[in-house]
Structure 1
Amino acid sequence: MDKLLKQATVATEQRDWLSVTQCLQQLPLDECSRNHANPEAKELPLGLAMALTVLEQGDFQARWDIAKVLPQWGERIVTPLIEILEDEEADLEQRWFAGRILGGFNTPEVIRTLVKLLDHSEDEELSAIASSALAAIGHAAVEALTDLLVQPESRLFATRALAQMHCAEVINPLLSVVHDPDVQVRVTAIAALSRFHDDRIVSVFLVALNDYAASVRKEAVIGLGLSASSQTDLDTLIYLQPLLYDLNLDVCQQAAIAIGRIGTDQAAEALFPVLRSPLTPVPLQLTVIQVLARIETATTLEYLHQALSTIAEDSILEIVRVFGRIETPNLKYQAAKILLDFFKSGHPSVETTAIKQALAYSWGQLGIRDAMETLGQLQNDPQMSVRLHANAAIQQLQ
């Protein structure tokens, strides 16, 4: 054992991290466990001190290897690893490994440290490793975080920590804060609950659709949309349709996306008046167009056809583009025919370069030879970019 420690000491001085790790791996377990009796002792065992040196100074591979060795010292490593994790001046990769190792220790001190890191860290990787570590700890971490929900000053970051954990045990504590006075707590809890299937959660979404905070309504709409496919006794459309006319544009757009998930002709029928309305902002028009195109039925194509003559030019361009992405074989002809009729309609937007390019591209993608004559006309367009698009489409059709 002394020989191994001497070899490791020499390798540490030479910064030969591979040799250090190999020596420490061979230490007898009883030698490591001998240091467990007093985990609060200030002086670190020599082997542990060298292992921490590798963690501090080694490259990624060296840190990866030593991370497998460090747990053999048991809870003796908790305090130094917490110090590393909390040191904002420390190397980010070193802190990442420290957090990863701490996930193997189910102690109140570790849980408090990981929760604090989740609440204060602005680095996504550190937050992710803290979340993963808490998830690895499991039930004890959920209990600790649930206790923190009682205090208003810790409720937000405790909710955020619970929201990072993908286990069913977090459902009850998250449900307990969905009506919290703090908007951010409600938003975080409802967004996290969207991941789970539980009969109680749908009723939470329905109540939150009427929340005064737009951010809460938005998350409730998203959650209800995600649960739509699993609801057999709830007419989700009835609840979502009024949100298409919400005062907040983000809520309206998410409502359109959620209705699109329902995927029925009734859902398309609810979206069509929004698309045609002259009061609908262009960003919402674009969202509705994309949603109708994804539903991809003869009915939705006809709705998009009817909208071509009434909507903004940017929205017309989007319809032309989404038609080119139609994949259902028996709808490709319908899409190509609609675009041909639109081109011949004399609508002013047909004269714009962007729309002529998009028409040519979509006809080429749809593969319908009925467009050949019209593409021939575009080969003589004054704009070279239009001619290039027309030539490319003709080559595809041939």
Structure 2
Amino acid sequence: MNNINQLLVQAQAAHDAADWSKVLQCVQQLILGEDSTHPEIVKNQAYLRELALSVLEMGDFQQRWEIAKVFVRLGNVAITPLIEILEDEDAEDDLRWYAVRILGNLKNPIAIASLVEFLKATEDEELKALAAAALGQIGQSAIAALSELLASVDTRVLAVRSLSYIRQPEIITPLLSVVQDPLVEIRAIAIEALSSFHDPRIPPILLNALTDVAAAVRREAVLGLSVRTDLHSSLDLVTKLQPRLDDFNLQVAQAAAVALSRIGSDEAGKHLFIVLSSPRTPIKLQIEIVRALAWMKTLSGLEYLQQAFEQLSLETLWLEIVTVLGRVSDSTLTASSTGILLSIVRSQHPAVEIVSIKSAIALSLGQLGNIEAIEPLIFLLADNNEVVRLHVVAALKNLAPEIAYQQLQQLLNNPMLTPDFRNGVTAALVEW
């Protein structure tokens, strides 16, 4: 009791001296301390609220940030003065920012109503966005209020955005009402949020959105369907998604490549390969498809990559193909991936003469961990480029260091080695 009274006296003295740091300290001890439910503190709650408001209005950034936590503990007694700050157009923006944030954390029906009304009235876009986010964080209790805002053109975007933050099944019905809204932003936000739910009403909406006039909406629809691979047979998703590979918007086409890779069927791989092989396909999309074929984790996907390496003529794509082949982690496919890389090494393909390609092949073979690659890698030491040899050494060390080292030592005793090869082996042993 004496300690509480002492803190109250100290807080008042600090307030009179404009020592906001001390006021904050005293209020924190009283409200956040172990005695916060003491009758004397409860009796002085309104007074403590006024002290907290003084810190909120006059303190620096850190003091305001800390006192905001006190307001949450004060609860409903803090709502009215915070609403007054919110509605005061002459109040500084930072102060109103804190009022919005605290009201959102209070999660009280009166606080919700005040935030909704603020959304309707304010013209400050930054504060509007903050209020929308606060309502979204409140969650289920705010859904009814936000749903009412969908009726007005002025508040519909913010209401949809707020509902999208909540991610509870109750938002499905209100969001379904705006999937055909004239505004692209509203349609895109609604489609993205709806994609989070496994509700039978949603897949038809996503399929319809695949042909939306707006690229942003089409992309969200593709992304939404990409996580519903469980429906790929019943909805014939490969057929539905394949046209989006040719979408004039690159981001939509890239999203379609990822979606088809997740389905992972041979038919999906075939469509990816066709677009990859087309001379009309932008290089960025080709790179995305190369990765998608590897992500499929199927033998047919790897075979398509091998065909693409043989048919395409861009160094960038050759490099990407040998790189993704080295990232294959499925134990049932690493041998096939190793075989493809070794066939490239042994071929007369022009890519094999490029330093960056040879280096990438060496690293990929080292990553795959197949000891079948040791001998072909050692033969790459005959290359007269030091960068290639360094990559080969790194690959051998990663693959099977002891076995590789023994073979290198044995090779030095072979009188048939060419000078370049002998120099490469010697340099490798030195690097070891």
TM superposition score normalised by structure 1? 0.84
Instruction: Verify the 8 A CA contact 1:325 1:362 in the aligned structure 2.
Output: yes
Q: Which residue in 1 is equivalent to 2:154? A: 153
Specify the alignment match of 2:363 in structure 1: 361
Q: Which residue of 2 aligns with 1:373?
A: 375
Larger deviation, residues 15-24 vs 169-178: 15-24
Q: Which amino acid aligns with 2:344?
A: F
Q: Distance in 1 between matches of 2:391 and 2:261?
A: 32
Q: In the alignment, which residue of structure 1 is the partner of 2:334? A: 332
Please tell me whether residue 70 in structure 1 is matched to residue 77 in structure 2.
no
Identical residues among aligned pairs (%): 36
User: What is the DSSP-based 3-state SS (H/G/I as helix, E as strand, rest coil) of the residue aligned with 2:180?
Assistant: coil
Give the AA of the match of 1:76. Answer: T
Distance 2:90 2:387 in 1: 57
User: Secondary structure of 2:167's match?
Assistant: coil
> SS of 2:234's equivalent?
coil
| Contact map agreement 2:210 2:217 (CA 8 A) in 1 | yes
How far apart are 1:380 and its partner, in Å?
3.7
Pairs within 5 Å for 1:288-327: 288-311=289-312, 312-327=314-329
Maintained 8 Å contact 1:260/1:292: yes
**Residue 325 (structure 1) shift:** 0.9
Query: Out of 376, 393, 396, which is 1:394 matched to?
Result: 396
Counterpart amino acid of 1:109?
S
C-alpha distance in structure 2 between counterparts of 1:118 and 1:171, whole Å: 28
Q: Which residue of 2 aligns with 1:7?
A: 10
Show the counterpart of 2:25.
Answer: 18
**Partners of 1:274 and 1:4 in 2: CA distance:** 73
What residue in structure 2 maps to residue 111 of structure 1? 116
- Aligned residue for 2:311, secondary structure, equals coil
- Using a 3 Å threshold, how does the CA distance of structure 1 residues 19 and 100 change in structure 2: closer, same or farther? same
- For the residues of structure 1 that align with 2:362 and 2:123, how far apart are their CA atoms? 51
> Partners of 1:328 and 1:85 in 2: how far apart?
61
Q: How many residues align?
A: 386
Structure showing greater Rg: 2
Query: How far off is 1:89 after superposition?
Result: 4.2
1:321 aligned counterpart, secondary structure: helix
8 Å contact kept, 1:243–1:255: yes
- CA deviations over 1:269-310 (Å, ceiling 9, x no partner): 222211222222211111111111111121111111111112
Measured in 2, the distance between the counterparts of 1:99 and 1:6 equals 29
Supply the AA of the counterpart residue of 2:383: D
Give 1:160-171 correspondences, 5 Å limit: 160-171=161-172
Deviations 1:231-290 (A, max 9, x none): 663221121112212222222111111111212223222222112222222111111111
Structure 1 residue 144 corresponds to structure 2 residue 149: no
| Contact 1:51/1:70 (<8 A) preserved | no
Distance apart, 1:396 and its partner CA = 1.9
Q: Is the 8 A contact 1:209 1:220 kept in 2?
A: yes
SS state at 1:326 partner: coil
Output the CA distance in 2 between the equivalents of 1:131 and 1:183.
Answer: 20
* Structure 1 residue 67: Cα displacement: 3.8
Structure 2 residue 279 is the aligned partner of structure 1 residue 274 = no
* One-letter code aligned to 2:363: Y
1:227 positional shift: 2.1
Name the amino acid aligned to 1:112: E
SS in structure 2 opposite 1:164? helix
- In the alignment, structure 2 segments of 5+ residues that lack a partner are 402-432
Is contact 1:115-1:161 (8 Å) kept?
no
Task: Give 1:40's aligned residue.
Answer: none
How far did residue 155 of structure 1 move? 2.0
Give CA deviations for 1:162-216 in whole Å, capped at 9, x if unaligned: 2222111111111111111122221121111111111111111111112222222
Task: Describe the shift of the 1:79–1:152 C-alpha distance in structure 2 as closer, same or farther (beyond 3 A).
Answer: closer
The normalised TM-score by structure 2 is 0.78
1:58-97 correspondence runs (5 A): 58-59=62-63, 62-63=66-67, 65-71=69-75, 73-79=77-83, 82=86, 89-90=93-94, 94=98
Deviation at 1:111, TM superposition (A): 3.0
Shift of 1:28: 6.5
In the alignment, is the contact (CA less than 8 A) between 2:363 and 2:395 conserved in 1?
yes
Q: Letter of the aligned partner of 1:194 in structure 2? A: S
C-alpha separation between the residues in 2 aligned to 1:332 and 1:323?
Answer: 9
Change (3 A) 1:87 1:29: farther
Q: Shift in Å at residue 91 of structure 1?
A: 7.2
1:201-212 equivalences in 2 (<5 Å): 201-212=202-213
- Matching of residue 98 in structure 1 with residue 89 in structure 2: no
> Is the contact made by 1:268 and 1:300 (CA closer than 8 Å) also made in structure 2?
yes
Instruction: Measure, in 2, the Cα distance between the counterparts of 1:370 and 1:113.
Output: 69
In structure 2, C-alpha distance between the alignment counterparts of 1:265 and 1:118, rounded to whole Å? 54
Aligned to 1:120: 125
The CA distance in 2 between the partners of 1:205 and 1:284, in whole Å, is: 23
Within 2, Cα distance between the matches of 1:22 and 1:389? 62
> Are the equivalent residues in 2 in contact too, given 1:174–1:193 (CA < 8 A)?
yes
Q: Distance in 1 between matches of 2:232 and 2:40?
A: 58
Name whichever of 157-166 and 72-81 sits farther off.
Answer: 72-81
